């Protein structure tokens, strides 16, 4: 097992009245794939942002890739974020830029690669995600699934060490889900990518995960391998897996 990439220790945090997490502790090691699982409003989205260093805890400690985001300088935060790919539930593509430019943005800002090398890398990444035919389209012309795959390409095009995907299933059709899962498998296998996703329904993605982190009302219910999750003695978990 690799070194700890994410360390959350008794974290409490909230996003207004919309979401909160309480007494949340979790350690994710390098190359691991985990899923934060729970119903809507269970706090998994906020937990995911904490894992990516995008949200600040009210109490407790957070370390992402060895950095404590709440104690880091602006420069350190920017550097940390370059190493973390985050895919929002809404695709959040920059609406005034083409699909190609959206994926090229992190390379243009964080590397000194010439435009020809950027083009090669971006088109390869778009092709992997199956959205290269849309490279000159604006995001408004894409389906939700297509836009989320472009957002995934944008998160993967840099040398990302940690990938966080919010509401991993949102907007993907069956074919896109297969492609999405294949990409996660490939990047994990080939590049040792650490993966954290949040999901609100049982999914075939669970087969890819080392652990499921089951959440309810902002609290951690259980952390277990996917095969054991449906046996966790908790009403939310039983509802989630359709056992009730």
Partner 1 sequence: MIAWTGRKTVEGVAYAADILFLGFLAFKELFSPARHGRGEASRVIVRQILFTGVDALPVVGALALMLGLIVIIQAGLALPQVGAGEFLANIVVAALVRELGPLLTAFIVVWRSGTAMCTELGNMRVGQEIDAIEAMGISVVRFLVMPRMVGTIVALACLTVYFDLVAIIGGFLVAKVTLTIPFLVYLEDIGRALSVTDVLITVVKSALFGLVIAVICCHHGLSVAGAVTEVPQQNARAMLNTVAACLVLDILVSVAFYVR
Phi and psi at residue 215, to the nearest 5°:
-130, 145
Region of 91-99, 130-138, 175-183, 219-227 interacting with partner 1 (CB under 8 A): 91-99
Please list every residue from 144 through 203 that binds partner 1, using CB under 8 A: 151, 154
Total residues belonging to the chain: 244
Q: How far apart are CA 94 and CA 71, in angstroms?
A: 29
Under the phi-then-psi rule, with left for phi > 0, alpha for psi from -120 to 50, and beta for the rest, what region is 31? left
Q: Which of 6, 13, 34, 52 binds partner 1 (CB under 8 A)?
A: 52
**E strands present in 16-156:** 19-29, 33-37, 59-64, 84-87
Query: Which whole-number Å values give the CA distances from 235 to 40, 232, 238, in the listed order?
Result: 15, 9, 5
Print the binding letters for residues 210-229 with partner 1: x by CB under 8 A, - otherwise: --------------------
Region of 32-40, 79-87, 181-189, 195-203 interacting with partner 1 (CB under 8 A): 79-87
Region of 31-39, 40-48, 104-112, 206-214 interacting with partner 1 (CB under 8 A): 104-112
Of residues 122, 228, 163, the one with CA closest to residue 5:
163
Of residues 81, 97, 47, the one with CA closest to residue 162:
81
- The least CB distance from residue 123 to partner 1, in Å, is 18
Q: Which of 105, 125, 183, 229 binds partner 1 (CB under 8 A)?
A: 105
Region of 34-42, 107-115, 175-183, 230-238 interacting with partner 1 (CB under 8 A): 107-115
Return residues touching partner 1 (CB under 8 A). Answer: 52, 54, 77-82, 84, 86, 88, 90, 92-96, 105-106, 108-112, 115, 151, 154
């Amino acid at each position: 097992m690799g070194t700890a990439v994410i360390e959350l220790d008794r974290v409490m945090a909230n996003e207004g009245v919309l979401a909160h997490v309480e007494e949340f502790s979790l350690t994710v090691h390098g190359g691991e794939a985990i899923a934060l699982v729970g119903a809507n409003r269970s706090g998994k989205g906020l937990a995911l942002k904490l894992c990516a260093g995008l949200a600040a805890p009210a109490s407790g400690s957070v370390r992402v890739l060895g950095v404590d985001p709440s104690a880091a300088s602006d420069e350190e935060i920017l550097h940390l974020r370059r190493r973390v790919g985050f895919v929002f539930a809404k695709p959040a593509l920059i609406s005034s830029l083409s699909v190609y430019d959206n994926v090229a943005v992190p390379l243009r800002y964080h590397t000194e690669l010439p435009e020809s090398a950027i083009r090669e890398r971006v088109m390869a990444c778009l092709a992997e995600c199956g959205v290269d035919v849309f490279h000159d389209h604006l995001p408004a012309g894409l389906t939700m699934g297509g836009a989320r795959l472009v957002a995934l390409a944008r998160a993967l095009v840099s040398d990302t060490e940690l990938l966080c995907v919010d509401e991993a299933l949102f907007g993907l059709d069956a074919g896109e889900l297969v492609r999405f899962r294949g990409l996660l498998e490939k990047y994990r296998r080939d590049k040792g990518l650490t993966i954290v996703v949040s999901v609100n329904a049982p999914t075939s993605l669970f087969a890819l995960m080392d652990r499921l982190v089951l959440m309810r009302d902002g609290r951690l219910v259980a952390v277990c391998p996917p095969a054991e999750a449906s046996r966790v003695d908790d009403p939310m978990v039983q509802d989630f897996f359709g056992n009730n």
